[in-house]
Structure 1
Amino acid sequence: MQGDLVISADFGTSGVKVGVVDGDLNVLARVTETYPLTLGAGGIAEQNPDDWWGGLTRAVAELRQQIPDLRDRASVMVFSAQLCGLICADETGHALRPCMTWLDKRGSALVQALIGGFPQVHGYQVGKLARWLRLANGAPAKNGMDAAAKILWMHHHEPEIMDRTRWLIDAKDWLVHRATGVMTTSPESANLSWMMDSRSGREGWSPQLAKIVGAPLEKLAPIVTADTLVDTLTPQAAAELGLSPNTQVLAGTSDVTAAALGSGEMEDGALHISLATSAWIAGFLPNRRLSVPYSYATVTSGLDMRPLLIASQENAGSALDWAAKVTAGANAHPGDDLGPPQPDDPFFLPWLAGERMPVDNDALRGTFFDLSLHHDATAMRRAALEGVALNLRWAMSKISREKGLRKTGPITLVGGGAANPQMAQMLADALNRDILVGETRHAGMLGTATLAAKTMGWAASPAEAATRLRSRPNAHYTPDSARVDALAVRAARLEKLRRAAIRSYTA
């Protein structure tokens, strides 16, 4: 080992958070660099992978200014990144076109045709669904967000690119290859491509499922666990980053597993909530779980293939940002003071980009209910805040039926939205659970750093290192009994409105 520090980079949709972490899991320096996202009609949502690498090089350059001896002290570099993207790369790892990110849903019609047929249940042909559930513990989402849908779209619309493609990979896979020249993928990316056999002891690519999607097995990267040592930096990558070529690079993980590590909730059945652009409720379980009606399941995590329950919702911070800007201008912030809730505040469904769970329907759209002439911009922003909280309450009401999940006690909240005290308190009241706020905007980056714990000698495993983070909350919110009761009444009213709204989009 050449040094005592780890460089951890968490690549999100809007930017990368990069930090330098020591053996006590203290962040000695951190930088956030943004990069563009191209949105277009028809569900286009693309990014240039070179922009991710550019953000990383700028961030590391700034970190070297903050820690002048970083080149000598950085022993390990590790990445986490957004899931469900598709990069078509050539033999050298060069991206042949922009990455279709998780937000890109151009393949929704194609994947619905693939999974459909008679007889069907919940939009899936029964025989196909049974095969996917048995092998992968899930099936491609109807909204087109998964890599399977994107591969179908590429076959239909850009077959010349598919012919030139050597590797079908996700965002983190490209980054690790850019750093090391070695191609790998994570269990999470493989599982959510719906081409992986996720049965315990049989984890690996499924020839049967890959054939259905139309992905040759030789174009799928080897699946490795998150703390696997891949290689050291290539001379080119080391020069661009200003780091030693002896810096070791780990396989890394997904944003969902990084957030789980950052929350510190490592025991089976313990839940955490990540609240950022989107939101999810997650927690580790001892075996696979699945709900077809409510569109959630466990995914095979990079932590020794351990099942991680994920109930993901499409709109959270994005809906709050939207409400702030359209009601109060471009400089408004979701954390601005909104005043006390009023009994006749409007209701809000935050489905501005469709929904994933507990209803998987890309056609759903955001809606205000019960607006009156006396309601102002502040009331609408309060409604948005409550709407996101009650949407998570809706999700929690479905997953809480699972055996082995903790039904009481505190829930850790991470992600950028956790920095909003009003949001944290609203969640405590909506869920009637204590909310512990740990690292907010940098939980994923800190959780990613724990993957280096064994390599660095900091702990016996990433999970052991991550457990230490649970004892370091920054804030604690307890439910207000009056607001708990008031929100229960409003949630019952919203449930009726929600059902009517869903019917209007599915009729």
Structure 2
Amino acid sequence: MSGPYVIGCDVGSQGTNSALYSADGTLVASAYQAYDVVFPRPGWAEQDPVLWTRALHASIRRLLEQVPEGPSSVKALSFGSQLDGMVVCDAKGRALRPAMIWMDRRAEAQAAALAERMVPREFYHHVGANLDSSHAVFKALWVRDEQPEIFSRAATLMPPGSYVLREASGVLAVDYSNASSLALLDPRSRTWSQPVLDAVNIDARMLPELAPATSRVGTVTQQFAEATGLTPETAVIVGCGDEMAATLGAGVYAPGEVCDVVGTAEPVCAVSTRPREDQTMLVECHPHADPSSWLLENPGFVSGGNLRWWRDQLCPVERDAEARGQGEAYDLVTAPAAQVPAGAEGLIFLPCMQGAMAPEWNGAARGVFTASPWRIPRRI
């Protein structure tokens, strides 16, 4: 396989996966760099944005080690990034506090306060998203209410995708899919929703500039080039939210096609050629990476994140075995479970470790194991 190449970086909830592709879309190499989610209190979930930048540096460096033609053969870089997070930054783009990521539910009071001023269905009509504390705007309101000394120094409110884009290119921008996860974008016009901005008292000048996912914003900064090994001529493309990128990558781009995106969470997505409203408000409507399409989706539950929680909290033997080179901890954890017959011998797990979005949106929902106590084997 020979160049030219492009690099796509999935800046996820548990790590960043960077992948090198040839011009015809063939995967040449990939590199993964893990990082942690911090849970300071029940319902809170944070990450230091610096970890995203370091993971990009490390994973891209490892990719370039596998490019025989050298870094000049890599022509462009772009991102698929976790949605619904909030990064509060100063005028220089520095995060003023840890990012509150998508599974953070601390802003229940802020969501409830807005629901007293704006009917949830009206909110849904304006922005295609539920009036729910998982969406990023409510996390910004929490900072304004609970950490006013930090908010007073804030110049920009941005999702994770905008943060890494700025780190790579020096340009502050957001594509329509990431902007939609702020719950401040009108999905029909693809412009900021003034009625919602007025309702939450946020100035649009605090938000990144809107741009299509395919926009070229410039080239990598000298600092980013030195940290990764890329050449300063490498183009930077805005990119999109991870659900949108995963759906496209799965080949789901035509109306009527549906994709289950299994990751830290497990959203289910369908493509539409027009913006649509769900009368039950179970399904949300977001602009797709394709400018002629919209993505109808429900974020689902924490999925792979629950497996990581199980490994980290309840499987010290398997983790120790991995440290001794005796296999991957995940494989050691799941191998006994694979021997359990369908139905799990009556064991049921409700995966609402950070609230639920199905069968209804409920931030107070919590995870539960239920079964006859006489029939719970260790191999669960």
TM-score, scaled relative to structure 2: 0.89
- Residue 319 of structure 1: aligned partner: 306
CA deviation string 1:6-43 (max 9, x = no partner): 01110111110011100232221111011232211143
- For residues 240-265 of structure 1, the C-alpha deviation after alignment (integer angstroms, 9 at most, x for no partner) is 22111110000111011011011111
Structure 1 outlier segments of 4+, above 4 Å: 321-330
Alpha-carbon distance in 1 for matches of 2:312, 2:18: 28
**Aligned residue number for residue 303 of structure 1:** 290
- What does residue 208 of structure 2 align with? 221
1:341 aligns with 2:342: yes
Note the residue ranges of structure 2 that are not aligned, 5 or more in a row. Answer: 319-328
Counterpart AA for 1:369: T
**What is the distance in 1 between the residues matched to 2:92 and 2:310?**
44
Give the counterpart of 2:126 among 118, 135, 158.
135
User: In structure 2, what is the equivalent of residue 95 of structure 1?
Assistant: 95
Question: In structure 1, what is the equivalent of residue 139 of structure 2?
Answer: 150
Offset at 1:322? 4.5
Aligned twin of 1:43: 43
The CA distance in 2 between the partners of 1:219 and 1:46, in whole Å, is 21
Equivalent position to 2:238, from 233, 245, 251: 251
Contact 1:187 1:305 in 2 (8 A): no
8 Å CA contact 1:140–1:148 kept in 2: the answer is: no
Deviation for aligned residue 1:114: 1.3
Structure 2 equivalent of residue 487 of structure 1: none
Contact 1:328 1:377 in 2 (8 A): no
Matched, 1:361 2:362: yes
In structure 2, C-alpha distance between the alignment counterparts of 1:289 and 1:145, rounded to whole Å: 21
Aligned to 2:82: 82
Which residue in the other structure is 2:324 paired with? Answer: none
Change (3 A) 1:150 1:234: same
Distance 1:41 1:50 in 2: 21
Cα distance between partner residues in 2 of 1:81 and 1:146: 15
Equivalence for 1:108: 108
SS at match of 2:46: strand
> Offset at 1:329?
4.9
TM-score (norm 1): 0.68
> Mean Cα displacement is larger for which, 230-239 or 8-17?
230-239
C-alpha contact 1:177 1:184 (8 A) present in aligned 2: yes
Whole-angstrom distance in 2 between the partners of 1:30 and 1:70: 16
The structure 2 residue matched to 1:239, chosen from 226, 250, 253, is 226
Give the letter for the 1:377 counterpart.
R
Aligned residue pairs, count: 364
| 1:103-502 map, 5 Å | 103-116=103-116, 128-141=119-132, 144-199=133-188, 202-291=189-278, 293=280, 295-304=282-291, 306-322=293-309, 329-331=316-318, 333=330, 335-336=334-335, 337-341=338-342, 344-378=345-379, 381=380
Query: Structure 1 residue 113: deviation in Å?
Result: 1.8
Deviation at 1:371, TM superposition (A): 1.4
Structure 1: which 5+ runs fail to align? 118-124, 382-507
Give the CA RMSD over aligned residues: 2.1
SS at the partner of 2:152? helix
* Cα distance between partner residues in 2 of 1:222 and 1:97: 22
Per-residue deviation, 1:330: 4.9
Measure the CA separation in 2 of the matches of 1:134 and 1:246.
43
Q: Which has the larger radius of gyration?
A: 1
Aligned-residue identity in percent: 26
Offset at residue 305 of structure 1 (A): 5.4
